[in-house]
Amino acid sequence: MIGDLGARDATELAGLVARKEVSAEELLDAALAATEARNPAINAVVLVQEEVARAEIRAGLPPGPFRGVPFLIKDLGLEAKGLPAHNGSRLSMNSTYSADCNLMARMRATGVVTFGRTTSPEGGVGIATEAAVYGGPTRNPWNTDHTPGGSSGGAAAAVAAGIVAFSHGSDGGGSVRVPASSCGLFGFKPTRARLPDGPWSGEGWAGMAIDGFLTRSVRDTAVMLDAVEGPDQGAPYYAPALQKGYAQAISRPPRRLRIALCDTSFTGEAIDPEVAAAVRETGKLLESLGHHVEPACPRAGIAAMMQAWTDIVAVGSALTIRGKLKGRPLSEEMVEAVGRDALRYAESLSPLRYLEAVEEIHDFGREMAAFFAPESGAGYDILLSATLAEPPARIGRFNHTREDYLGFRLGPQGCFAYSPFAAVFNASGQPAASLPLAWSQSGLPVGMHLAAPFGADEELIALCAEIEAAVYWNRRAPLAG
């Protein structure tokens, strides 16, 4: 039975533990064996803490919905006692924490068995996962010449390779949804401030960053989000309250929805023909389910938003780098080239620029809200697009070896050209998801992206579950699995 656990989702594994058909120790053994067998090809799992995980099992796991299920957390910004971190950077190697952050405490309460971390790019600013601190790039299990995406690339690669059934990630510009698309998984970004950031942080990247999960099934995401959602003490702002919760929302299909289909970028540029065709096929699927689908793209200041996003992230990166340097000189041995140039660029900005950029992000959110508001004359319930403008890129295209932060982000072959959809909804704060609905002719996953109005998480995830029920997620074994 344990040999085929890579094909099961976390909910099913938890059921096996609850029925005593398998033990938490046996599941951990299987996950560790899979790590040993599969991780060398993909370089996704790092800082394994086997004894910490076994001690948690011996101490008695909480009776949560995922009791006994092996779990991994992203190696970026998630403070967790007993689980050291590099945070994607040589500057932060072997950081340790005396206590859990609030999100980690809530995840532990679900009963998961956390035994290590997954790779991320330095600073979390990449669309690929190729940080120098890990000794080599993280690779896509479907084709190891290609990237699993970023910045939660290690999390997605580990799930796609069958090392774990689900994994923690985070999303500040598509960093859950882009890896989900690249690795054939489900990735959901909740509404801004839906999940706790404290107690050591008030918000990430002016509220654009939020945590999430890489899963094989919609139900795993729904149950975990229910377990961890809600503000923590002292949160600077709250998301609108859920009406019934994610898990209850997926128990029945949503109402029939008005869906806008955009098979170009949101500013009208052509995307890869295979990907565009997949968007149109997804539109046909939604029509077959009874939804109304029509061509439409939002009219909003995408270029200004992208520049503001880039400036805010540069300032955030500079703050982290300066704090970690602790007065030491900046060097190539400590910080990769993109990070060094992000620091230089941030320090060249006007002292007024950060708040100006935040205001531009807020203005953009109002523009996007109008696209979904009935009183605006548009009134769409859902916006359908691709998650990426092309299939997963080759290793090396988005590494951090060039000292050109702006070109890396905004250049004609940069991150935003490759991923022109996802960061839009970090800026607007809206819920959005990537669904594994298509494949390129070369056999690589191609995700489809759905976004909903601010606060409409439940309707969005209900639609995702309806699609999942109608279309079997492809469960082919990846090459590195």
Structural domain includes residue 10 = yes
CA 149 from chain centre, in angstroms, equals 10
Which residues have a Cβ under 8 Å from the Cβ of 408 and sit 6 or more positions away? 338, 398, 400, 402, 414, 415
Residue range 258-297, pLDDT digits in tens? 999 999 999 999 999 999 999 999 999 999 999 999 999 9
Is a pLDDT exceeding 90 seen at residue 150? yes
Residue 284 annotated among the catalytic residues of the structure: no
Confidence category of residue 375, pLDDT binned at 50, 70, 90? confident
Average pLDDT on 113-136 reads 97
Using the CB atoms, write b or e for 453-465: b if 16+ within 10 Å.
Answer: bbbbbbbbbbbbb
Q: What percent of the chain has pLDDT over 90?
A: 95
pLDDT of residue 229: 98
Structural domain includes residue 339 = no
Sign of CA dihedral 210, 214, 215, 218: positive
User: In this structure, what token pair is assigned to residue 183?
Assistant: 């690795």
pLDDT of residue 378: 78
Q: What 3-state DSSP class applies to 438? A: strand
Q: How many domains does the chain have?
A: 1
Q: What percent of the chain has pLDDT over 70?
A: 97
Residue range 172-211, pLDDT digits in tens? 999 999 999 999 999 999 999 999 999 999 999 999 999 9
What are the start-end ranges of the H helices in 240-301?
246-249, 273-288
Average pLDDT, the chain: 96
Residue 98 annotated among the catalytic residues of the structure: no
Strand 445-451 and strand 432-439: the pairing is antiparallel
Structural domain includes residue 354 = no
pTM for the structure as a whole: 0.97
Q: Which among 175, 265, 317, 419 is annotated as catalytic?
A: 175
Q: Which among 89, 92, 120, 151 is annotated as catalytic?
A: 151
CATH number of the domain bearing residue 87: 3.90.1300.10
Residue range 52-79, pLDDT digits in tens? 999 999 999 999 999 999 999 999 999 9
Strand 70-74 and strand 113-118: the pairing is parallel
Distance CA 31, CA 23 (A): 13
User: In this structure, what token pair is assigned to residue 472?
Assistant: 């079997």
Structural domain includes residue 318 = no
- Taking the CB of residue 284, how many other CB atoms lie within 10 A of it? 11
Structural domain includes residue 314 = no
Structural domain includes residue 317 = no
pLDDT of residue 1: 47
pLDDT of residue 374: 85
pLDDT of residue 3: 55
Task: Answer yes or no: are the C-beta atoms of 193 and 207 closer than 8 Å.
Answer: yes
Higher pLDDT, 329 or 481: 329
Confidence category of residue 230, pLDDT binned at 50, 70, 90? very high
Confidence category of residue 481, pLDDT binned at 50, 70, 90? low
Residue range 87-96, pLDDT digits in tens? 999 999 999 9
Distance CA 371, CA 334 (A): 44
Strand 382-386 and strand 445-451: the pairing is antiparallel
User: In this structure, what token pair is assigned to residue 413?
Assistant: 């072959």
Q: How far apart are the first and last CA of the chain?
A: 17
Q: What 3-state DSSP class applies to 48? A: coil
pLDDT of residue 472: 78
Residue 189 annotated among the catalytic residues of the structure: no
Structural domain includes residue 261 = yes
pLDDT of residue 478: 73
Distance CA 18, CA 66 (A): 9
Residue range 287-345, pLDDT digits in tens? 999 999 999 999 999 999 999 999 999 999 999 999 999 999 999 999 999 999 999 99
Q: Which among 74, 89, 170, 217 is annotated as catalytic?
A: 74
- Domain carrying residue 186: 2-300+360-470
Distance CA 154, CA 42 (A): 8
Give the HSE-up count for residue 308: Cα atoms under 13 Å, Cβ half-sphere.
Answer: 25
Is a pLDDT exceeding 80 seen at residue 149? yes
User: In this structure, what token pair is assigned to residue 85?
Assistant: 């971190």
Structural domain includes residue 321 = no
pLDDT of residue 477: 64
pLDDT of residue 2: 53
Is a pLDDT exceeding 50 seen at residue 423? yes
The residues facing 439 across adjacent strands are 445
pLDDT of residue 5: 62
φ/ψ region of 252 (left if φ > 0, alpha if ψ in -120 to 50, else beta) reads beta
pLDDT of residue 94: 97
